[in-house]
Amino acid sequence: MPKVYLILSIHNHQPVGNFDYVFEDAYEKAYLPFLKMLTAHPKLKFVLHYSGNLLVWIEKKHPEAIDMLTTLIKSGRIELLSGGFYEPVLCCLPEVDRVMQIREMTAYIKDMFGYTPRGMWLAERVWEPHMPECISNAGIEYLPVDDYHFKLAGVDDRDLLGYHVTEENGFMVKVFPGSEELRYSIPFKDVDKVMSYLKEISMTGGSPLLTLADDGEKFGVWPDTFSHCYKDGWLESFFSALENNSDWLKTTTFSEYQDGFYPVGRVYLPTASYREMGEWALPPEGALDYEYALNEMKGLFGDKAKNFLRGGAWRSFFTKYPESNHIHKRMLRISRKVHKAVKKFKIQNSKFKIQKSDKTLNSQLLTPDSLLHELWKGQCNDAYWHGIFGGLYLPHLRSALYRHLLNAEAMAEEVLKGQGVKEFIEEGDLDCDGFRDICISKGDMTAFFTEDSGALIELSSKGKQVNLLDVLTRRPEAYHSRISETAQHDSPAVKTIHDPERLGVKESGLLDYLIYDNYRRASLLDHFFDYNIELDAVMKSEYEERGDFIGSPYLLERIDGGGVRLSREGLVSGNKVKIDKSVLFRKSGIRVDYLLEGRYSGIFATEFNISFLGSPYPSIHAGRKALLMKDKGAHSDMRSFYIKDKFLNMKAAFSFDEDVEMWHYPIETVSLSEGGVERLYQGTAFLFVKRFDFNGSKRVGFTVNFGEAK
């Protein structure tokens, strides 16, 4: 009887920085019950992948799972895959980090299980044509991607029932096409329908191979899947069906199949990820056009219409979200510092120790391994993009990237600084957006300035490992057009999280929070308003900017004393106004001085957008008032105020040269996660307001000091 081979490749991952209770919930609902189910069906073979940080967590918190995996490996029941240790999108890393992360993961698996993986999992299956070389150099022979990659290369359906070879500069790897049909069927369609599809493939002749390559969280963590898979028995029924039909169906592994069968042929895959990722990477209008065109074409070509349309490349997220681009470009430059420091380690064969002080969270022994792992943790993919998971929109995931990258930067600078070196300065178009930037790392602080809007993009404390300006802009998303006030589940059927009909809301009234900013939520932004403007209008982006400074380039230059000057001559209500502002580093903060020249009557306001790890619980102390960070407020005759965060043990104190009005309001976004659409607090906008009527010049100044929250 004809036989079909089936590879069930399951990928398990939790983002760096995710809450421990989320790890625990995923373990109890998916990772552990899946292993128990697999153990109970000894005739089946599987391929498993765990990201390095998840495997480290399991080893520490649940060694019983490590014992189960060890037994399954020794019995030949499972193949473990390697991959980037902290689940990075490999193509967007420096090549040295790509290879080292994979080798580190391979070594970790070998050390733990006495088993050397030959294959790897590619994070988000993001493929670019140059990748075979670095993958081969990392010691990897094969990996799964998606059948969508192959279809974009013109491979027909029959040739998807096997594996192919590909190469770059003669460096070869084998690639297996993961079936989209199986991704959408398992575990969502009836077991009988899944088995009928497998039976149909078995009748094509030869030794056809089908591969499922998908997330393990779909077996218990995704909405309603725990009851569906375990309480209602879907997974037990599926595993039993696989065993009961072993006369025509055989579960296998990548290593076993490629050792026994020749490749179908050679293929050169284009830049791609799974099909849905390309849609998410598009700008909102493009994503809506894509969805409309796909639905129209399905009427003509059915599911084959998916092969004729493609969305954006994964790197398009750096265009769609400037905040992601900033983290990525900072990561690239910090990586260079780290590898220079590692090289210095090797030359000096020495160790450095960073002592605990009032500005550092931990005392730690600085070694090449600790330095590299801090960098690599900051390369974890999840907070660099956004699709149906929270991703970039989740403040705790973004802050985790900053935490590890800033720590890596501080550690590298500790190694690299020579006698008398007090600051590290980088100049140029550092974030590759066409505007000149200056990044100054001095003492505990790192500040990143740009010509674009004369803005301060980042103000980080390396000791506290936090970027205080990490606030996400409120922007439209394609799915905003589909938000309704209906319940999340209007059908008893369990659906994949990719099903557009699943879109629901986590709270009522979300439509009121669909507010979009006209500019990026940076800091040191210069506004000119009418006298009669109200705070609510600013908060809702329902006002007219009287000046042309937001979104326009400033002249950016370094000045003596370790700071920068930003200047621009523009128009305000038809009159010429020049802004000259300087920022100087102080021992525990920064000093900002403005000189305005020209003629103007109205409100001038400097905007800062501030976040303490995205937490709404730090307190704002303005005069005798104490408010929560996410409160809205307007305060007159202010000479000073401060923000205090007990978790970070940190205080940011603002002192003004003369009285100002201080306005503040929360920045809240509406974003999609696997559980539905939700409102998220991103940070707080602060406006330092002055009412002016001058014809000549006017000076304004203030100081920002950082200290402990006493």
Catalytic site positions: 124, 215
Could you count the other beta carbons within 10 Å of the beta carbon of residue 229?
Answer: 25
Element (H, E) at 539: helix 535-539
Cβ atoms 359, 461 nearer than 8 A: yes
User: Taking CA 341 as the corner, what is the angle to CA 337 and CA 345, rounded to the nearest 5 degrees?
Assistant: 170
Could you count the other beta carbons within 10 Å of the beta carbon of residue 67?
Answer: 10
- Burial of residue 99, with CB atoms counted within 10 A of its CB: 0-12 exposed, 13-18 middle, 19 or more buried: buried
Helices (H), 43-130: 52-61, 63-74, 95-113
With CA atoms as reference, report the closest residue to 265 among 191, 166, 400.
166
The residue to which tokens 């308003």 are assigned: 529
Could you count the other beta carbons within 10 Å of the beta carbon of residue 341?
Answer: 23
User: Taking CA 434 as the corner, what is the angle to CA 429 and CA 436, rounded to the nearest 5 degrees?
Assistant: 40
| CA 599 to each of CA 21, 572, 577, 596: distance values in angstroms, whole numbers, following the listed order | 57, 9, 6, 9
Report d(CA 523, CA 520) in Å as an integer.
9
In the 8-state DSSP scheme, what is residue 553? B
Report d(CA 663, CA 665) in Å as an integer.
7
Structure tokens at 666: 């929360």
Cβ atoms 369, 444 nearer than 8 A: no
- Burial of residue 276, with CB atoms counted within 10 A of its CB: 0-12 exposed, 13-18 middle, 19 or more buried: middle
With CA atoms as reference, report the closest residue to 539 among 393, 691, 666.
666
- Residue 20, helix vs strand vs coil: helix
Report d(CA 391, CA 368) in Å as an integer.
29
DSSP letters, 172-235, are EEEEEEEPHHHHHHTTTS-HHHHHHHHHHHHTTSS--EEEEEEEGGGTTTSTTHHIIIIIS-HH
Cβ atoms 411, 300 nearer than 8 A: no
